[in-house]
Amino acid sequence: MPSLNDIRSTFTDFFARNDHRVVESSPLVPRNDPTLMFTNSGMVQFKNSFTGVETRDYKRATTAQKCVRAGGKHNDLDNVGYTARHHTFFEMLGNFSFGDYFKEQAIAFAWELLTKDFGLDKNKLLVTVYHTDDEAANFWKKIAGLPEHKIIRIASDDNFWRMGPTGPCGPCTEIFYDHGEHIWGGPPGSAEEDGDRFIEIWNNVFMQNEQFADGSLRPLEMQSIDTGMGLERIGALLQGKHDNYDTDLMRSLIEASAHATSADPDGPGKMHHRVIADHLRSTSFLIADGVMPSNEGRGYVLRRIMRRAMRHAHMLGAQDPVMHKLVPTLVRQMGAAYPELGRAQSMIEETLRLEESRFRTTLDRGLKLLDDELERIPEGGDLPGPAAFKLYDTYGFPLDLTQDALREKGRGVDVQGFETAMDEQRKKARAAWVGSGEATDANIWFELAQDKGVTEFLGYDTETAEGEVLALVRDGAQIGDAATGTNVQVMVNQTPFYAESGGQVGDTGFIRTATGLVEVTDTKKTAGVFIHLGTVIEGSILRGQAAKLEVSHARRASIQANHSVTHLLHEALRRALGEHVAQRGSLNAPERLRFDFSHSQGMTAAEIGTVEAEVNAFVRQNTAVDTRIMTPDDARALGAQALFGEKYGDEVRVVSMGQLDGSGKGSDGRTYSLELCGGTHVKRTGDIGAFVLLSESASSSGVRRIEALTGQAALDHLRAQDARLSDVATALKTHAGDVLDRVKALQDERRALANEVAQLRRELAMGGKSGGPEIKEINGVKLIAQVLSGVSGKDLPALIDEMKAQIGSGAVVLIADTGAKPAVAAGVTADMTARISAVTLVKAAAEALGGKGGGGRPDMAQAGGADIALADAAIAAVHAALEA
């Protein structure tokens, strides 16, 4: 009996043999469709190849595509567990032709694979075609030899496949398997078609049209093929089972569930095991593709599925978390075909365990409340809306979980009443928010958040994505379109653009629609709405359009390098300076980073060297940067660094990087840096490239600031420093390595020369070694009064002392011609200070020089003048002062 894994490879091998490229499954979160919540068929990743917008280097492809139908238009959640063929997660096998083969070859491939490779009995197969598609009907006759009554013409949309309100579409042919008369049901198109006898196993779509929003249907330039076969269905058929949940793969998950809950897989709890098996697959694959449980958008769909599974585990009597224990079985079964599952295994287990342990605390109480409520309402009545809302709001019961619980009791929920209660709560939240004094400008974003929902951020995993333009805002008001030159703020439903927060600057890039192009110069966030600020630079853009969003990659890469290295720097500082080091602020811009931290004194050169070297060592270690979601308490228990004063929600992202190697600093395998962080990061620390610490300085009291560079900017900085050093070496006529010695030698030389010059100046000032200055005698006092050029005011006191010694008894007045404002000093020998004060003399001279004031002691005083041209008058004034 072939396993599901065998069947998957038989399918793709068959098409590979027939010149098809085996293409990997695309992620469950579609990158190229703004309207789709989850990838729900094989053609999603090829949508643009059918319309010709995108070309690939192959014209034939085959895939096994993971699909989720649990939110939005295609939603199978409610039926899962109760039926044989509903899943939230399934695999779609497909073959695709892009303008290559068409109907005839597609039908030939399908027939050959089903009847030869899969060995199905030809007589049990029948097909449907679109009622006008004679061509397809004729090929079925010619290739498969099917008689007319086994080619059923269907006039309804069942045989005209559309991916949605817009996009590629076309007539299709569906292949059915007849399980035999013993099972009730009629062929497609008959009144009994819903029975289980005739089961559709494969849909072949002849893509030949494109559906537009205005309702028009136009032919596509090329004719293509898109097929889809559910692996679980064909698997059941080939394994001789009627129920998808009896296939080997699903059965192993059901048995794992039975083992973990100690409940008989085929007993009365059978249905619960089926729910658990299905939900284990969708939740694990969604987490592996980057979806995290939350209260919005995709995250909320994930949470709903998780909690639904948990309730069913609870119904089986499980007291402890169960789901995470089943992950290894799933990875064993599907990890080879989908390696991302193995890579994310620990994250999946941790996310499931966390969600389970948190929900457990309210699940029991919520179920009790539900029972109490039911007792109070009349037999068969619906649960009132406010009660359902209380379960949602206080006990974390998604509405469909309550509905699921009531379904078993044959009861429903007053959904209208639930919505009303929900609306009232929103209104209250809004009133509270407006009252909080936020800028009124933000009002529009709060309104938009209410009307259209908050923006989903895809930028942790991708830098390009498609979104739908939900609103265009200019000057605080909504506009319907924006033409070239308009400054506009764009809101989309989902975006890869990071909005400025936590020190990381907002992304820039481009938003392109069918009619225009916006250059985005910044991205901000208000009330959960991402606001893309930009200018229309081509054509015009309209509200409601689909848009391709592209983040400027190189800039984002530099920002990420700077952000990630900030985490390494933070840890290196803590280790070098002490546990008191805490982040006080940061900036992660593309060209540089700034990091403020608490520390009371400047770092020494040695500390700076140690920190820079340690950061670079972890950059070179090049280990993967890991992100997990957990409660703030769990994160703190792990030792994660949280931002001072920051408020955290129920869940936090914990970013870890670097491995301690046991070289004295920690035990093997322990994480170096662990921080709560909502920013985007490099994939591996090696992506940072290099780290250069530029400066360390005081920022405010008790806070130091580091400025630093990474990657190319760091290398450019080092290169520029090196070039400067070479220039210096050339100017000094030496090599870079000898610059320091050369500079020291020059400094010594300069000092010696300066001393010599000072000595010479003094000698010169005193009239040379032989002569000596001219000495006058006025009123019985010996006086030297002179103008000295080439000396400064500072030099004067020493010269005065020297001349006082020379004169023995008397007064000295020296005027320094500094080239700028003159300085003057006077000295009187001790024996004469009773007769005349140096202060008097200096004041007289300074005044004559156009200066003011002057002061000192009777034996030595100094002052400044204004004009050296008045020097003679100053000397005359000194004479006059002595004569008086």
Catalog residues that contact ligand SER under the rule CB under 6 A.
Answer: 41-43, 94, 161, 203, 205, 226-228
CA atoms within 13 A on the CB side of 3: 10
The alpha carbon dihedral of 590, 596, 602, 603 has a sign of negative
Question: Residues 862, 868, 873, 879: what is their CA dihedral angle, to the nearest 10 degrees?
Answer: 30
CB closer to ligand SER, 41 vs 513 = 41
Shortest gap between Cβ of 125 and ligand SER (angstroms)?
18
CB closer to ligand SER, 170 vs 851 = 170
Shortest gap between Cβ of 202 and ligand SER (angstroms)?
9
Residues 6+ positions from 138 with CB-CB distance below 8 Å:
none
CB closer to ligand SER, 168 vs 398 = 168
Question: Residues 574, 579, 581, 586: what is their CA dihedral angle, to the nearest 10 degrees?
Answer: 60
Using Cβ positions, the residue closest to ligand SER within the complex turns out to be: 228
Contact call for residues 491 and 546 (beta carbons, < 8 A): no
Shortest gap between Cβ of 169 and ligand SER (angstroms)?
9
State the angle between helix axes of 399-407 and 345-376 in degrees (0 to 180), rounded to the nearest 10.
Answer: 60
Can you tell me the distance from the alpha carbon of 459 to that of 463, in angstroms, rounded to the nearest whole number? 6
Can you tell me the distance from the alpha carbon of 435 to that of 483, in angstroms, rounded to the nearest whole number? 36
Q: Fill in the amino acid letter for 546.
A: A
First-to-last C-alpha distance (Å) of the chain: 132
CB closer to ligand SER, 47 vs 599 = 47
- The 8-class DSSP code of residue 590 comes to S
CB closer to ligand SER, 226 vs 289 = 226
Extract the runs of DSSP E, i.e. beta strands, from 374-503: 456-457, 464-474, 477-479, 481-483, 487-492, 494-495
CB closer to ligand SER, 205 vs 619 = 205
Shortest gap between Cβ of 511 and ligand SER (angstroms)?
28
Residues 6+ positions from 297 with CB-CB distance below 8 Å:
37, 453, 454, 456, 494
Can you tell me the distance from the alpha carbon of 604 to that of 595, in angstroms, rounded to the nearest whole number? 17
Shortest gap between Cβ of 34 and ligand SER (angstroms)?
18
Residues 6+ positions from 568 with CB-CB distance below 8 Å:
614, 615, 618, 619, 657, 658, 672, 673, 685, 688, 691
Can you tell me the distance from the alpha carbon of 569 to that of 592, in angstroms, rounded to the nearest whole number? 14
CB closer to ligand SER, 43 vs 250 = 43
Where helices occur in 581-731 by DSSP H, the ranges are 605-621, 632-638, 711-731
CB closer to ligand SER, 205 vs 383 = 205
Extract the runs of DSSP E, i.e. beta strands, from 383-442: none
CB closer to ligand SER, 157 vs 320 = 157
Can you tell me the distance from the alpha carbon of 16 to that of 681, in angstroms, rounded to the nearest whole number? 37
CB closer to ligand SER, 47 vs 308 = 47
CB closer to ligand SER, 229 vs 323 = 229
Shortest gap between Cβ of 484 and ligand SER (angstroms)?
38
Shortest gap between Cβ of 286 and ligand SER (angstroms)?
19
Shortest gap between Cβ of 174 and ligand SER (angstroms)?
9
